[in-house]
A and B are shown apart, each in its own frame.
Chain A
Amino acid sequence: YPCDCVGANRPRNDDCEKTYSKGMEVRCSSLLQLKFVFGSCALQALDLVDQHSVTCLTAPSGRKAFQVTGGSGRLYTCFLSCHYCPCPAFAYSVLRRNDGLVCKHILAVYLSQAMAATQQESVSDQQMSLLLSGTMDP
Protein backbone atom coordinates (compact mmCIF):
# COMPACT_ATOMS: atom_id res chain seq x y z
CA TYR A 1 0.00 0.00 0.00
CA PRO A 2 1.18 3.54 -0.77
CA CYS A 3 2.31 4.63 2.66
CA ASP A 4 2.44 3.68 6.30
CA CYS A 5 -0.82 5.36 7.31
CA VAL A 6 -2.65 2.07 7.24
CA GLY A 7 -1.60 -0.37 9.91
CA ALA A 8 1.42 1.45 11.27
CA ASN A 9 1.93 2.69 14.83
CA ARG A 10 2.21 6.35 13.99
CA PRO A 11 -0.17 9.31 13.88
CA ARG A 12 -2.74 8.82 11.19
CA ASN A 13 -3.07 11.37 8.42
CA ASP A 14 -6.71 11.37 7.35
CA ASP A 15 -5.96 13.70 4.50
CA CYS A 16 -3.23 11.56 2.97
CA GLU A 17 -3.66 11.84 -0.76
CA LYS A 18 -1.16 9.23 -1.81
CA THR A 19 -2.75 6.86 -4.23
CA TYR A 20 -2.61 3.18 -4.79
CA SER A 21 -3.10 2.06 -8.32
CA LYS A 22 -4.03 -1.45 -9.31
CA GLY A 23 -6.73 -1.39 -11.97
CA MET A 24 -8.04 1.84 -10.50
CA GLU A 25 -6.71 4.49 -8.19
CA VAL A 26 -7.57 4.18 -4.55
CA ARG A 27 -6.67 7.00 -2.21
CA CYS A 28 -4.91 6.22 1.01
CA SER A 29 -7.56 8.21 2.88
CA SER A 30 -10.19 5.87 1.45
CA LEU A 31 -8.25 2.91 2.74
CA LEU A 32 -8.11 4.54 6.16
CA GLN A 33 -11.87 5.00 6.14
CA LEU A 34 -12.29 1.39 5.15
CA LYS A 35 -10.08 0.26 8.02
CA PHE A 36 -11.95 2.51 10.45
CA VAL A 37 -15.29 0.96 9.55
CA PHE A 38 -14.31 -2.66 9.05
CA GLY A 39 -11.17 -3.06 11.19
CA SER A 40 -8.66 -5.77 10.35
CA CYS A 41 -11.24 -7.31 8.03
CA ALA A 42 -10.54 -4.46 5.57
CA LEU A 43 -6.88 -5.36 5.00
CA GLN A 44 -7.67 -9.04 4.70
CA ALA A 45 -10.38 -8.27 2.15
CA LEU A 46 -8.05 -6.03 0.14
CA ASP A 47 -5.51 -8.83 0.09
CA LEU A 48 -8.15 -11.15 -1.35
CA VAL A 49 -8.94 -8.57 -4.03
CA ASP A 50 -5.26 -8.23 -4.87
CA GLN A 51 -5.04 -11.98 -5.30
CA HIS A 52 -8.02 -11.92 -7.71
CA SER A 53 -9.88 -14.20 -5.34
CA VAL A 54 -13.42 -13.10 -6.22
CA THR A 55 -15.28 -14.74 -9.09
CA CYS A 56 -18.81 -14.03 -10.28
CA LEU A 57 -20.45 -17.28 -11.37
CA THR A 58 -23.28 -17.12 -13.92
CA ALA A 59 -25.67 -19.90 -14.88
CA PRO A 60 -27.66 -20.12 -18.16
CA SER A 61 -30.84 -19.32 -16.17
CA GLY A 62 -29.29 -15.92 -15.32
CA ARG A 63 -28.78 -16.77 -11.66
CA LYS A 64 -25.52 -15.44 -10.26
CA ALA A 65 -23.42 -16.00 -7.17
CA PHE A 66 -19.99 -15.00 -5.97
CA GLN A 67 -17.25 -17.44 -5.14
CA VAL A 68 -14.33 -16.28 -3.01
CA THR A 69 -11.09 -18.18 -2.57
CA GLY A 70 -10.12 -17.90 1.08
CA GLY A 71 -6.63 -17.68 2.49
CA SER A 72 -6.51 -21.42 3.00
CA GLY A 73 -7.57 -22.08 -0.58
CA ARG A 74 -11.10 -23.05 0.38
CA LEU A 75 -13.90 -21.68 -1.80
CA TYR A 76 -16.84 -19.80 -0.24
CA THR A 77 -20.10 -19.16 -2.08
CA CYS A 78 -21.75 -15.83 -1.27
CA PHE A 79 -25.08 -14.44 -2.46
CA LEU A 80 -25.72 -11.40 -4.62
CA SER A 81 -28.49 -9.72 -2.72
CA CYS A 82 -27.90 -10.41 0.97
CA HIS A 83 -25.10 -11.16 3.40
CA TYR A 84 -24.22 -14.76 3.97
CA CYS A 85 -20.95 -16.65 3.97
CA PRO A 86 -20.33 -20.23 5.09
CA CYS A 87 -17.00 -19.31 6.67
CA PRO A 88 -16.46 -19.73 10.44
CA ALA A 89 -15.78 -16.00 10.87
CA PHE A 90 -19.24 -15.08 9.57
CA ALA A 91 -20.88 -17.63 11.87
CA TYR A 92 -18.93 -16.45 14.90
CA SER A 93 -18.17 -12.76 14.53
CA VAL A 94 -21.24 -11.67 12.60
CA LEU A 95 -24.05 -14.01 13.63
CA ARG A 96 -23.01 -15.00 17.12
CA ARG A 97 -21.12 -12.00 18.51
CA ASN A 98 -22.56 -9.30 16.24
CA ASP A 99 -19.04 -7.83 16.09
CA GLY A 100 -19.23 -6.85 12.47
CA LEU A 101 -21.53 -6.56 9.51
CA VAL A 102 -19.55 -8.77 7.16
CA CYS A 103 -16.65 -11.19 7.00
CA LYS A 104 -13.60 -10.56 4.82
CA HIS A 105 -15.04 -12.66 1.99
CA ILE A 106 -18.22 -10.59 1.70
CA LEU A 107 -16.22 -7.36 1.98
CA ALA A 108 -13.87 -8.64 -0.72
CA VAL A 109 -16.89 -9.11 -2.99
CA TYR A 110 -17.97 -5.48 -2.52
CA LEU A 111 -14.43 -4.16 -3.01
CA SER A 112 -13.80 -6.38 -5.99
CA GLN A 113 -16.96 -5.13 -7.68
CA ALA A 114 -16.08 -1.51 -6.92
CA MET A 115 -12.57 -1.95 -8.28
CA ALA A 116 -13.64 -3.96 -11.34
CA ALA A 117 -11.44 -6.80 -10.21
CA THR A 118 -14.02 -9.60 -10.26
CA GLN A 119 -13.27 -12.65 -12.39
CA GLN A 120 -16.11 -14.12 -14.46
CA GLU A 121 -16.99 -17.78 -14.88
CA SER A 122 -19.91 -19.77 -16.29
CA VAL A 123 -21.45 -22.79 -14.58
CA SER A 124 -24.40 -25.00 -15.47
CA ASP A 125 -27.82 -24.52 -13.86
CA GLN A 126 -27.37 -27.72 -11.87
CA GLN A 127 -23.90 -26.72 -10.67
CA MET A 128 -25.31 -23.36 -9.57
CA SER A 129 -28.05 -25.11 -7.58
CA LEU A 130 -25.49 -27.32 -5.86
CA LEU A 131 -23.27 -24.35 -5.01
CA LEU A 132 -26.15 -22.26 -3.65
CA SER A 133 -27.41 -25.10 -1.47
CA GLY A 134 -23.94 -25.84 -0.16
CA THR A 135 -24.31 -29.41 -1.33
CA MET A 136 -21.37 -29.17 -3.71
CA ASP A 137 -18.26 -28.69 -1.65
CA PRO A 138 -16.27 -26.24 -3.80
Chain B
Amino acid sequence: MADILSLVFRTFMSQSDLKKDVKVITPSPTTCSTLVVGDHSLSRSVLLLASVIAAAEMGIKVMFFTQTQIQSLPPSLQRCVPNLSPESLKKIKFSYPRTVEELLQQVASLHEPTNTSPTPPSLIIVDRLESFLSGPGGSSQSGFHPGERSCAAHIAALLCDTAAFLTQVLEQRGSSSAPCRIIASFLSEVNAGGDPSGTDPILDVLDRYFQVRCTLDQDSGYEATAAAVQEVWHIYLSGRGITDPSFTEDYNDRPGVAQEWKLFIFPDGLMEFKLV
Protein backbone atom coordinates (compact mmCIF):
# COMPACT_ATOMS: atom_id res chain seq x y z
CA MET B 1 0.00 0.00 0.00
CA ALA B 2 2.86 2.37 0.69
CA ASP B 3 3.69 2.19 -3.03
CA ILE B 4 0.18 3.41 -3.91
CA LEU B 5 0.39 6.23 -1.36
CA SER B 6 3.73 7.30 -2.85
CA LEU B 7 2.07 7.29 -6.28
CA VAL B 8 -0.75 9.47 -4.92
CA PHE B 9 1.74 11.97 -3.53
CA ARG B 10 3.68 12.02 -6.81
CA THR B 11 0.52 12.45 -8.89
CA PHE B 12 -0.46 15.52 -6.92
CA MET B 13 3.01 17.00 -6.56
CA SER B 14 3.57 20.69 -7.11
CA GLN B 15 4.73 21.63 -10.60
CA SER B 16 8.10 22.77 -9.31
CA ASP B 17 8.80 19.38 -7.76
CA LEU B 18 7.82 17.31 -10.79
CA LYS B 19 11.37 17.20 -12.09
CA LYS B 20 12.79 15.85 -8.87
CA ASP B 21 13.79 12.24 -8.75
CA VAL B 22 11.24 10.84 -6.36
CA LYS B 23 11.83 7.26 -5.39
CA VAL B 24 8.66 5.28 -5.31
CA ILE B 25 8.54 2.48 -2.83
CA THR B 26 8.38 -0.82 -4.69
CA PRO B 27 5.71 -3.14 -3.34
CA SER B 28 6.91 -6.03 -1.28
CA PRO B 29 5.12 -8.16 1.28
CA THR B 30 6.37 -5.83 4.01
CA THR B 31 4.84 -2.72 2.46
CA CYS B 32 1.45 -4.21 1.75
CA SER B 33 -0.38 -2.95 4.83
CA THR B 34 -0.48 0.71 5.77
CA LEU B 35 -2.29 2.48 8.58
CA VAL B 36 -3.14 6.15 8.00
CA VAL B 37 -3.27 7.88 11.35
CA GLY B 38 -4.71 11.35 11.73
CA ASP B 39 -7.57 13.70 10.96
CA HIS B 40 -10.77 12.06 9.66
CA SER B 41 -11.57 14.25 6.75
CA LEU B 42 -8.02 14.35 5.39
CA SER B 43 -7.45 10.61 5.83
CA ARG B 44 -10.71 9.91 4.01
CA SER B 45 -9.56 12.13 1.15
CA VAL B 46 -6.23 10.31 1.03
CA LEU B 47 -8.00 6.94 0.95
CA LEU B 48 -10.30 8.08 -1.83
CA LEU B 49 -7.38 9.44 -3.81
CA ALA B 50 -5.57 6.15 -3.31
CA SER B 51 -8.54 4.12 -4.48
CA VAL B 52 -9.10 6.24 -7.58
CA ILE B 53 -5.40 6.31 -8.50
CA ALA B 54 -5.22 2.55 -8.03
CA ALA B 55 -8.28 1.95 -10.20
CA ALA B 56 -7.63 4.58 -12.87
CA GLU B 57 -3.81 4.57 -13.16
CA MET B 58 -2.97 1.03 -12.12
CA GLY B 59 -6.16 -0.65 -13.32
CA ILE B 60 -6.60 -2.70 -10.16
CA LYS B 61 -9.81 -3.73 -8.42
CA VAL B 62 -10.49 -1.94 -5.14
CA MET B 63 -12.73 -2.82 -2.18
CA PHE B 64 -13.57 0.26 -0.11
CA PHE B 65 -15.22 -0.30 3.28
CA THR B 66 -16.69 2.66 5.15
CA GLN B 67 -19.60 3.33 7.49
CA THR B 68 -20.58 6.64 5.89
CA GLN B 69 -21.80 7.07 2.34
CA ILE B 70 -19.40 8.67 -0.15
CA GLN B 71 -21.14 11.82 -1.35
CA SER B 72 -18.40 13.17 -3.58
CA LEU B 73 -14.80 12.71 -4.65
CA PRO B 74 -12.08 15.21 -3.65
CA PRO B 75 -11.89 18.22 -6.04
CA SER B 76 -8.22 17.42 -6.77
CA LEU B 77 -9.25 14.35 -8.71
CA GLN B 78 -11.20 16.22 -11.32
CA ARG B 79 -8.09 18.08 -12.41
CA CYS B 80 -5.19 15.80 -11.82
CA VAL B 81 -6.25 12.30 -12.83
CA PRO B 82 -6.40 12.29 -16.64
CA ASN B 83 -7.62 8.72 -16.91
CA LEU B 84 -10.58 9.26 -14.63
CA SER B 85 -13.49 7.68 -16.43
CA PRO B 86 -16.69 5.98 -15.31
CA GLU B 87 -15.17 2.74 -16.53
CA SER B 88 -12.15 3.00 -14.26
CA LEU B 89 -14.33 4.04 -11.34
CA LYS B 90 -16.34 0.84 -11.78
CA LYS B 91 -13.26 -1.00 -10.55
CA ILE B 92 -13.95 0.44 -7.09
CA LYS B 93 -16.59 -1.38 -5.08
CA PHE B 94 -17.93 0.55 -2.11
CA SER B 95 -19.38 -1.32 0.82
CA TYR B 96 -21.05 0.19 3.89
CA PRO B 97 -20.95 -2.24 6.83
CA ARG B 98 -22.72 -0.74 9.82
CA THR B 99 -20.94 -2.61 12.59
CA VAL B 100 -17.63 -4.32 13.20
CA GLU B 101 -19.39 -7.69 12.89
CA GLU B 102 -20.62 -6.80 9.41
CA LEU B 103 -17.14 -5.57 8.49
CA LEU B 104 -15.63 -8.87 9.68
CA GLN B 105 -18.19 -10.87 7.72
CA GLN B 106 -17.64 -8.90 4.53
CA VAL B 107 -13.83 -9.06 4.73
CA ALA B 108 -14.00 -12.75 5.64
CA SER B 109 -16.08 -13.47 2.54
CA LEU B 110 -13.64 -11.85 0.10
CA HIS B 111 -12.19 -15.31 -0.66
CA GLU B 112 -15.54 -16.50 -2.06
CA PRO B 113 -15.85 -16.86 -5.86
CA THR B 114 -18.40 -14.02 -6.09
CA ASN B 115 -15.63 -11.66 -4.95
CA THR B 116 -12.66 -13.18 -6.75
CA SER B 117 -14.30 -13.51 -10.16
CA PRO B 118 -13.37 -12.34 -12.67
CA THR B 119 -10.48 -10.80 -10.68
CA PRO B 120 -9.84 -10.55 -6.96
CA PRO B 121 -9.36 -7.13 -5.39
CA SER B 122 -5.75 -5.92 -5.22
CA LEU B 123 -6.48 -3.11 -2.80
CA ILE B 124 -8.64 -3.28 0.31
CA ILE B 125 -9.42 -0.01 2.06
CA VAL B 126 -11.10 0.44 5.45
CA ASP B 127 -12.06 3.98 6.41
CA ARG B 128 -12.22 4.98 10.08
CA LEU B 129 -11.38 1.75 11.88
CA GLU B 130 -11.90 3.48 15.20
CA SER B 131 -15.59 4.05 14.48
CA PHE B 132 -16.09 0.33 13.85
CA LEU B 133 -14.17 -0.60 16.99
CA SER B 134 -15.98 1.85 19.23
CA GLY B 135 -19.37 0.50 18.19
CA PRO B 136 -21.34 -2.10 20.16
CA GLY B 137 -19.49 -5.03 18.61
CA GLY B 138 -16.05 -3.68 19.41
CA SER B 139 -16.61 -2.85 23.03
CA SER B 140 -16.15 -5.07 26.02
CA GLN B 141 -19.90 -5.61 26.12
CA SER B 142 -19.66 -7.95 23.16
CA GLY B 143 -20.17 -11.57 24.02
CA PHE B 144 -17.62 -12.81 21.50
CA HIS B 145 -14.80 -10.29 21.74
CA PRO B 146 -13.37 -9.91 25.22
CA GLY B 147 -12.46 -6.31 24.50
CA GLU B 148 -11.51 -3.64 22.05
CA ARG B 149 -7.90 -4.85 21.78
CA SER B 150 -8.97 -8.35 20.77
CA CYS B 151 -11.47 -6.92 18.31
CA ALA B 152 -8.83 -4.64 16.81
CA ALA B 153 -6.45 -7.58 16.51
CA HIS B 154 -9.16 -9.71 14.90
CA ILE B 155 -10.02 -7.24 12.15
CA ALA B 156 -6.38 -6.32 11.52
CA ALA B 157 -5.29 -9.97 11.38
CA LEU B 158 -8.23 -10.86 9.14
CA LEU B 159 -7.35 -8.05 6.75
CA CYS B 160 -3.72 -9.18 6.58
CA ASP B 161 -4.58 -12.86 6.19
CA THR B 162 -7.12 -12.03 3.50
CA ALA B 163 -4.57 -9.94 1.63
CA ALA B 164 -2.04 -12.78 1.84
CA PHE B 165 -4.60 -15.21 0.39
CA LEU B 166 -5.67 -12.84 -2.40
CA THR B 167 -2.00 -12.22 -3.26
CA GLN B 168 -1.64 -15.97 -3.70
CA VAL B 169 -4.68 -16.08 -5.98
CA LEU B 170 -3.41 -13.13 -8.06
CA GLU B 171 0.01 -14.74 -8.45
CA GLN B 172 -1.47 -18.11 -9.37
CA ARG B 173 -3.48 -16.41 -12.09
CA GLY B 174 -0.38 -14.62 -13.37
CA SER B 175 -1.89 -11.22 -12.62
CA SER B 176 0.29 -8.12 -12.68
CA SER B 177 -1.95 -6.65 -9.98
CA ALA B 178 -0.28 -8.67 -7.21
CA PRO B 179 0.33 -8.21 -4.33
CA CYS B 180 -2.97 -7.40 -2.63
CA ARG B 181 -2.51 -4.29 -0.51
CA ILE B 182 -4.33 -2.96 2.53
CA ILE B 183 -4.81 0.56 3.75
CA ALA B 184 -6.87 1.54 6.77
CA SER B 185 -7.39 4.82 8.54
CA PHE B 186 -7.50 5.27 12.29
CA LEU B 187 -7.88 8.32 14.48
CA SER B 188 -6.32 7.78 17.86
CA GLU B 189 -8.34 9.22 20.74
CA VAL B 190 -5.11 9.80 22.63
CA ASN B 191 -3.55 11.95 19.92
CA ALA B 192 -6.84 13.66 19.12
CA GLY B 193 -6.86 14.86 22.71
CA GLY B 194 -3.66 16.75 22.04
CA ASP B 195 -1.39 14.75 24.29
CA PRO B 196 1.64 13.78 22.19
CA SER B 197 3.13 11.65 24.96
CA GLY B 198 0.09 9.44 25.43
CA THR B 199 -0.10 5.92 24.04
CA ASP B 200 -3.18 4.40 22.50
CA PRO B 201 -3.52 0.68 23.33
CA ILE B 202 -5.59 0.08 20.20
CA LEU B 203 -2.93 1.72 18.03
CA ASP B 204 -0.33 -0.49 19.72
CA VAL B 205 -2.35 -3.53 18.70
CA LEU B 206 -2.81 -2.32 15.12
CA ASP B 207 0.94 -1.64 14.83
CA ARG B 208 1.51 -5.39 15.24
CA TYR B 209 -0.23 -6.03 11.94
CA PHE B 210 0.33 -2.93 9.80
CA GLN B 211 3.92 -2.62 8.57
CA VAL B 212 3.76 1.01 7.49
CA ARG B 213 2.27 3.99 9.27
CA CYS B 214 1.30 7.15 7.39
CA THR B 215 0.94 9.95 9.94
CA LEU B 216 -1.01 13.10 9.10
CA ASP B 217 0.02 16.03 11.27
CA GLN B 218 -1.39 19.51 10.81
CA ASP B 219 1.06 22.39 10.81
CA SER B 220 -0.04 24.90 13.40
CA GLY B 221 2.51 27.53 12.40
CA TYR B 222 2.28 30.46 10.03
CA GLU B 223 3.22 28.58 6.88
CA ALA B 224 -0.41 28.30 5.76
CA THR B 225 -0.81 32.05 5.83
CA ALA B 226 2.56 32.65 4.21
CA ALA B 227 1.80 30.19 1.39
CA ALA B 228 -1.73 31.55 0.88
CA VAL B 229 -3.22 28.13 1.41
CA GLN B 230 -6.01 27.00 3.71
CA GLU B 231 -4.08 24.25 5.50
CA VAL B 232 -0.61 22.77 5.67
CA TRP B 233 -0.01 19.19 6.75
CA HIS B 234 3.05 17.09 7.38
CA ILE B 235 2.87 13.49 6.17
CA TYR B 236 5.31 10.90 7.48
CA LEU B 237 5.75 7.34 6.25
CA SER B 238 7.37 5.18 8.89
CA GLY B 239 7.50 1.66 10.26
CA ARG B 240 9.27 -1.61 9.63
CA GLY B 241 7.82 -1.89 6.14
CA ILE B 242 9.72 1.08 4.73
CA THR B 243 12.50 -0.47 2.67
CA ASP B 244 13.51 2.43 0.45
CA PRO B 245 17.18 1.71 -0.42
CA SER B 246 18.09 5.40 -0.31
CA PHE B 247 17.31 5.38 3.37
CA THR B 248 19.16 2.21 4.24
CA GLU B 249 22.20 3.72 2.52
CA ASP B 250 22.42 6.80 4.68
CA TYR B 251 20.62 5.73 7.81
CA ASN B 252 21.84 2.24 8.56
CA ASP B 253 21.50 2.77 12.26
CA ARG B 254 17.97 4.13 12.09
CA PRO B 255 15.51 1.45 11.10
CA GLY B 256 12.10 2.62 9.96
CA VAL B 257 13.20 6.16 9.05
CA ALA B 258 10.25 8.22 7.83
CA GLN B 259 9.78 9.48 4.33
CA GLU B 260 8.33 12.94 4.70
CA TRP B 261 5.95 14.99 2.57
CA LYS B 262 4.20 18.27 3.01
CA LEU B 263 0.59 18.76 1.89
CA PHE B 264 -0.89 22.12 0.95
CA ILE B 265 -4.69 22.37 0.77
CA PHE B 266 -6.01 25.39 -1.10
CA PRO B 267 -9.28 27.19 -0.40
CA ASP B 268 -10.89 25.54 -3.45
CA GLY B 269 -10.07 22.09 -2.06
CA LEU B 270 -7.16 21.33 -4.37
CA MET B 271 -4.31 19.39 -2.80
CA GLU B 272 -0.62 19.64 -3.60
CA PHE B 273 2.11 17.43 -2.16
CA LYS B 274 5.72 18.41 -1.76
CA LEU B 275 8.58 16.08 -0.96
CA VAL B 276 10.56 17.33 2.04
Contact with A along B143-155 (1 / 0, CB 8 A): 0111101100110
When A61-B116, A79-B161 are in contact, do A86 and B150 touch as well, CB less than 8 Å?
Answer: yes
Is B113's CB within 8 Å of the partner chain A? yes
Measured CB to CB, the nearest residue on chain B to A81 is: B164
8 Å CB interface, B208-239 against A? 208-209
Q: Which residues of B sit under 8 angstroms from A133, Cβ to Cβ?
A: 101, 104-105, 107-109, 158
Q: Which residues of B sit under 8 angstroms from A92, Cβ to Cβ?
A: 146
- Chain B interface category by residue count: 20 to 34
A62 vs B161: C-alpha distance when bound (angstroms): 13
CB pair A62–B168 under 8 Å, yes or no, is: yes
8 Å CB interface, A59-118 against B? 59, 61-63, 79-84, 86, 88, 90-92, 95-96
Question: Contacting chain B: which of A15-23, A44-52, A122-130?
Answer: A122-130
When A86-B144, A133-B105, A135-B104 are in contact, do A61 and B153 touch as well, CB less than 8 Å?
Answer: no
Is A132's CB within 8 Å of the partner chain B? yes
Is A7's CB within 8 Å of the partner chain B? no
Is A134's CB within 8 Å of the partner chain B? yes
CB pair A128–B146 under 8 Å, yes or no, is: no
- Chain B CB within 10 Å — which of A63, A80, A135 has the most? A63
A59 vs B111: C-alpha distance when bound (angstroms): 9
Min distance, Cβ B71 to any Cβ of chain A, angstroms: 29
CB pair B158–A62 under 8 Å, yes or no, is: no
A19 vs B150: C-alpha distance when bound (angstroms): 38
Partner of B146 from A61, A84, A88, A126 at Cβ < 8 Å: A88
A88 vs B147: C-alpha distance when bound (angstroms): 10
Chain B contact residues, CB within 8 Å of chain A: 101, 104-105, 107-109, 111-113, 116, 144-147, 149-150, 153-154, 157-158, 160-161, 164-165, 168-169, 201, 205, 208-209
> Could you list 18 further interchain pairs (A-B, Cβ under 8 angstroms) beyond the known A61-B112, A130-B105, A133-B101?
A59-B111, A81-B161, A81-B164, A82-B161, A83-B208, A84-B153, A84-B157, A86-B150, A86-B154, A90-B153, A91-B146, A91-B147, A95-B153, A125-B113, A128-B108, A129-B108, A132-B108, A134-B145
